[in-house]
Amino acid sequence: MSRTVSRRRFLSLAALGAAAALPLPAPAQPRRTMVTVVKIAGVPWFNALERGVQKAGTDFGIAATMIGPANVDPAQQVKLLEDLIARRVDVIGLVPLDVKVAEPVLRRAQAAGIAVITHEGPEQQGRTWNVELIDSVRFGEEQMKKLAAEMGEAGSYVVYVGTLTTPLHNKWADAAIAYQQKHYPRMTLAADRFPGADEIDTAQRTTLDVIRAHPDVRGILAFGSNGPIGAGNAVRQRRLGRRIAIVGTVLPSQAKPLIMDGTIREGFLWNPTEAGYAMVAVARMVLDGREIDDGIEIPGLGRAEVDVAGRQIRVDKIMRINRETVDGLIAQGL
């Protein structure tokens, strides 16, 4: 073997040895996963929330998605949650239908090391944090003030909620009814609150039934983004828009025709896109082990009021939807 060949072989072996001595690059960390389970899939409100979830997932490096049951059914929500525990996702997001039904499965999620971020779930046990964009009592009271003004502070009214166990809907209803009883003695609640405000067809059928059973009803207060729409369709169908005032939680783009013709006197909401974004932002903080204290800046929301012991994060961003504001809110993607 020539000296040249030997030298080349020696250099090649030396290079291999040097390369073997170099530290190997660390394997890429798997992307963290978060799936948010909402009350019902495919409705405009939660489509808007999903946009916030997806945007935050991109911004914070989380594979963030959203799912929901086909019907407003707490048992279907639980099945979806159980599937996510089996998949070992890193974070579960939840907009609960029934806090009692969801509690056992959320505790199993936490026992499996899965963080749980809720929205519209201030009373939900088994969560890591709950995120709210409104003050629940004020949200109910402000809507009652508007309904009372439209009714001349007199006459009978009814209240709709998503389900009789939907936590925040019933909290808003409690606050609104209590405010009426204290401040508007000439107003009366015609019947116990009605479920179905998450589904247009159900709210429409309920309203037609209410009109038949309570022909003197003068107001409808609907908590659940499809409730005012269904009620409005029924009131318009019966040509009672001048006599029956409708106030409630709506999405501007969905409610605009009924707002512009005066069927819905005013709508109230917070930005569901911001809510979805905030849920993922808080999840990122939890995954990173960040301490969350009162006054913390939540991306997309700003400074938040934090009840550490109660595991609550809250800002107050009530928006009013009427003829003057509806187009501007739609231009914001709502």
> Distance of alpha carbon 75 from its chain centroid, rounded?
19
Kind of pairing between the strands at 155-160 and 245-249: unpaired
Is residue 118 situated within a structural domain?
Answer: yes
Is residue 189 situated within a structural domain?
Answer: yes
Residues 194, 121 share a domain: no
Other C-beta atoms closer than 10 Å to the C-beta of 297 total 10
Other C-beta atoms closer than 10 Å to the C-beta of 239 total 8
123-136 burial, b at 16+ Cβ within 10 Å, e below that, comes to bbebbbbbbbbbbb
Per-residue pLDDT band at 4 (split at 50, 70, 90): very low
Residues 264, 153 share a domain: yes
Residue with tokens 């806090």: 99
Per-residue pLDDT band at 11 (split at 50, 70, 90): very low
Is residue 16 situated within a structural domain?
Answer: no
Residues 153, 82 share a domain: no
Is residue 175 situated within a structural domain?
Answer: yes
Domain count of the fold of the chain: 2
Structural domain that includes position 230: 136-269
Average pLDDT, the chain: 91
Is residue 171 situated within a structural domain?
Answer: yes
Residues 147, 130 share a domain: no
Alpha-carbon Rg for the chain, nearest whole angstrom, is 26
Is residue 6 situated within a structural domain?
Answer: no
At residue 318, does pLDDT exceed 70? Answer: yes
CA 146/CA 260 separation, integer angstroms? 17
Q: What pLDDT digit, counting tens, does each position of 102-126 carry?
A: 999 999 999 999 999 999 999 999 9
| Stated length of the chain | 334
Which pairs from 210-216 meet CB under 8 Å and 24+ separation? 210/158, 211/235, 211/238, 211/240, 211/244, 214/156, 214/158, 214/190, 216/155, 216/156, 216/190
Is residue 12 situated within a structural domain?
Answer: no
Q: What pLDDT digit, counting tens, does each position of 252-288 carry?
A: 999 999 999 999 999 999 999 999 999 999 999 999 9
The whole-model pTM stands at 0.79
Is residue 15 situated within a structural domain?
Answer: no
Task: Choose the final residue of a domain: 269, 290, 307.
Answer: 269
We report the CATH number of the domain holding residue 141 as 3.40.50.2300
How deeply is 25 buried, as exposed, middle or buried, from its count of CB atoms within 10 A (0-12, 13-18, 19+)? exposed
Residues 156, 123 share a domain: no
